[in-house]
Structure 1
Amino acid sequence: MMNKSSQESRVETISEQLSLFALNLKLEQIPISVCAQAKLHMLDAIGIGIASSHYDFAKNILHALMSLQESNDQHYQVLGVPNKLSMRDAILVNGTYIHGLDFDDTHAAGVIHASSSAMAALLSVGQRHNINGQDGLVAYLVAIEVASRIASAANGGFHEKGFHPTGLVGIFGATVLVGRIMKLTAGELTNALGISLSMASGVMEFLEGGAWTKRMHPGWAASSAVTACAMAKNGFIGPRNTFEGRYGLFNSHIDSSNLASLEKCTNGLGQIWEMQNISLKPYPACHYNHAFVDAAVTLRQENAFEIDDIKSIKARISEKQVPVVCEPQASKRIPKNSYEAQFSIHFVIATSLIKGKFTLNELENDTIFDPQILALCQKIEYEIDPKSAFPEFYSGEIEIQLKSGKSLIHREQMNRGSSANPLAKHEVLEKFYSNVERVMSHTAAKKFTEDFLNLEHEKSFINIMNQLKVN
Structure 2
Amino acid sequence: MSATQALARFCASLEGTTLPERVRLKVRDLLLDHLAVALGGAYLPSSEAAHQLLALMGVLQPAGTGPHISGNRATLLGRGERAEASWAALFNGIAAHGLEMDDVENRSSLHPGVAVFPAALALAEELAAPIEDFYAAIVAGYELTLRLGAALNPASAYARGFHPTALCATFGATAASARLLGLAAEQTAQALGIAGSMAAGSLAYLENGAWTKRLHPGWSAHAGIIAARLAASGFRGPEEIFCGRYGFLHAYSDASQAGELQPPTGPEDFAILRVSLKPYACCRYMHGPLDCLLAIRRQHAPDPRHIRRVRCGVLSAGRGLVADPIETKRQPSNVVDAQFSMPFGAAVALVTGQAGLSVFNETWLWHPEIRDLMQRVDCESDPELDRHYPAEWRATASVEMDDGQVFQASVRYPLGDPENPLSGEQLAARFHELAAATIKEASRREALIAHIRQLDRLAHFAWSNLL
TM-score (norm 2): 0.94
Task: Give the equivalent residue in structure 1 for 2:115.
Answer: 117
Task: Give the equivalent residue in structure 1 for 2:460.
Answer: 460
Kindly indicate whether the alpha-carbon contact (under 8 Å) linking 1:163 and 1:204 is maintained by their aligned counterparts in 2: yes
Describe the SS at the equivalent of 1:146.
helix
Task: Give the equivalent residue in structure 1 for 2:44.
Answer: 55
Cα deviation for residue 270 of structure 1 reads 4.9
Kindly indicate whether the alpha-carbon contact (under 8 Å) linking 1:134 and 1:455 is maintained by their aligned counterparts in 2: no
- In structure 1, distance between residues paired with 2:179 and 2:452: 21
1:250 aligns with 2:239: no
2:278 counterpart letter in structure 1? K
Describe the SS at the equivalent of 2:380.
strand
- In structure 1, distance between residues paired with 2:464 and 2:287: 32
Cα deviation for residue 87 of structure 1 reads 2.3
1:316 aligns with 2:313: yes
1:261 aligns with 2:250: no
**CA RMSD of the aligned region, Å?**
1.6
Rate the CA distance shift 1:115–1:371 in 2: closer, same or farther, 3 A. same
Describe the SS at the equivalent of 1:363.
coil
Task: Give the equivalent residue in structure 2 for 1:380.
Answer: 377
Task: Give the equivalent residue in structure 1 for 2:31.
Answer: 42
Rate the CA distance shift 1:348–1:248 in 2: closer, same or farther, 3 A. same
Cα deviation for residue 269 of structure 1 reads 4.6
Cα deviation for residue 184 of structure 1 reads 1.1
- In structure 1, distance between residues paired with 2:437 and 2:243: 46
Rate the CA distance shift 1:460–1:230 in 2: closer, same or farther, 3 A. same
Kindly indicate whether the alpha-carbon contact (under 8 Å) linking 2:85 and 2:119 is maintained by their aligned counterparts in 1: no
- In structure 2, distance between residues paired with 1:362 and 1:243: 41
Rate the CA distance shift 1:452–1:308 in 2: closer, same or farther, 3 A. same
Rate the CA distance shift 1:304–1:363 in 2: closer, same or farther, 3 A. closer
1:173-184 aligned within 5 A: 173-184=172-183
1:65 counterpart letter in structure 2? L
Task: Give aligned-pair identity as a percent.
Answer: 26
- In structure 1, distance between residues paired with 2:419 and 2:329: 30
- In structure 2, distance between residues paired with 1:253 and 1:439: 38
Describe the SS at the equivalent of 1:358.
coil
1:24-423 aligned within 5 A: 24-69=13-58, 75-156=73-154, 157-255=156-254, 258=255, 260-271=256-267, 272-388=269-385, 389-423=388-422
- In structure 2, distance between residues paired with 1:438 and 1:198: 36
- In structure 1, distance between residues paired with 2:97 and 2:464: 19
Task: Give the equivalent residue in structure 2 for 1:23.
Answer: 12
Describe the SS at the equivalent of 1:120.
helix
Cα deviation for residue 71 of structure 1 reads 8.2
Cα deviation for residue 380 of structure 1 reads 0.8
Cα deviation for residue 267 of structure 1 reads 4.8
2:12 counterpart letter in structure 1? L
Moved more, 309-318 or 20-29: 20-29
Describe the SS at the equivalent of 2:216.
helix
- In structure 1, distance between residues paired with 2:242 and 2:276: 26
Rate the CA distance shift 1:304–1:169 in 2: closer, same or farther, 3 A. closer
Describe the SS at the equivalent of 1:276.
helix
Kindly indicate whether the alpha-carbon contact (under 8 Å) linking 1:293 and 1:357 is maintained by their aligned counterparts in 2: no
Cα deviation for residue 133 of structure 1 reads 1.9
Cα deviation for residue 91 of structure 1 reads 0.7
1:129 counterpart letter in structure 2? L
2:257 counterpart letter in structure 1? S
Kindly indicate whether the alpha-carbon contact (under 8 Å) linking 1:30 and 1:270 is maintained by their aligned counterparts in 2: no
- In structure 2, distance between residues paired with 1:466 and 1:81: 16
2:449 counterpart letter in structure 1? T
- In structure 2, distance between residues paired with 1:239 and 1:357: 48
Kindly indicate whether the alpha-carbon contact (under 8 Å) linking 2:41 and 2:96 is maintained by their aligned counterparts in 1: yes
- In structure 1, distance between residues paired with 2:74 and 2:30: 22
Kindly indicate whether the alpha-carbon contact (under 8 Å) linking 1:69 and 1:86 is maintained by their aligned counterparts in 2: no
Describe the SS at the equivalent of 2:396.
strand
- In structure 2, distance between residues paired with 1:111 and 1:223: 22
- In structure 1, distance between residues paired with 2:301 and 2:32: 39
Kindly indicate whether the alpha-carbon contact (under 8 Å) linking 1:69 and 1:85 is maintained by their aligned counterparts in 2: no
- In structure 1, distance between residues paired with 2:464 and 2:112: 21
Rate the CA distance shift 1:135–1:375 in 2: closer, same or farther, 3 A. same
- In structure 1, distance between residues paired with 2:451 and 2:362: 37
Moved more, 404-413 or 24-33: 24-33
- In structure 2, distance between residues paired with 1:404 and 1:190: 64
Kindly indicate whether the alpha-carbon contact (under 8 Å) linking 2:191 and 2:231 is maintained by their aligned counterparts in 1: yes
Kindly indicate whether the alpha-carbon contact (under 8 Å) linking 2:286 and 2:314 is maintained by their aligned counterparts in 1: no
String of CA shifts for 1:352-371, please: whole Å, max 9, x gaps.
00011111121221101111
Kindly indicate whether the alpha-carbon contact (under 8 Å) linking 1:291 and 1:394 is maintained by their aligned counterparts in 2: yes
Cα deviation for residue 28 of structure 1 reads 4.0
- In structure 1, distance between residues paired with 2:87 and 2:342: 34
2:297 counterpart letter in structure 1? R
Rate the CA distance shift 1:348–1:194 in 2: closer, same or farther, 3 A. same
2:5 counterpart letter in structure 1? E
String of CA shifts for 1:9-51, please: whole Å, max 9, x gaps.
xxx2111111111111123432211211221011110111000
2:389 counterpart letter in structure 1? F
Rate the CA distance shift 1:270–1:97 in 2: closer, same or farther, 3 A. farther
Unaligned runs of 5+ in 2: none
Kindly indicate whether the alpha-carbon contact (under 8 Å) linking 2:90 and 2:118 is maintained by their aligned counterparts in 1: yes
Cα deviation for residue 428 of structure 1 reads 0.9
1:91 counterpart letter in structure 2? A
Describe the SS at the equivalent of 2:398.
strand
String of CA shifts for 1:223-250, please: whole Å, max 9, x gaps.
1111111111111110011000111001
- In structure 2, distance between residues paired with 1:77 and 1:49: 12
Kindly indicate whether the alpha-carbon contact (under 8 Å) linking 1:193 and 1:242 is maintained by their aligned counterparts in 2: yes
Cα deviation for residue 433 of structure 1 reads 1.5
- In structure 2, distance between residues paired with 1:235 and 1:174: 19
Cα deviation for residue 129 of structure 1 reads 0.8
- In structure 1, distance between residues paired with 2:315 and 2:38: 30
- In structure 2, distance between residues paired with 1:399 and 1:61: 42
- In structure 2, distance between residues paired with 1:35 and 1:71: 33
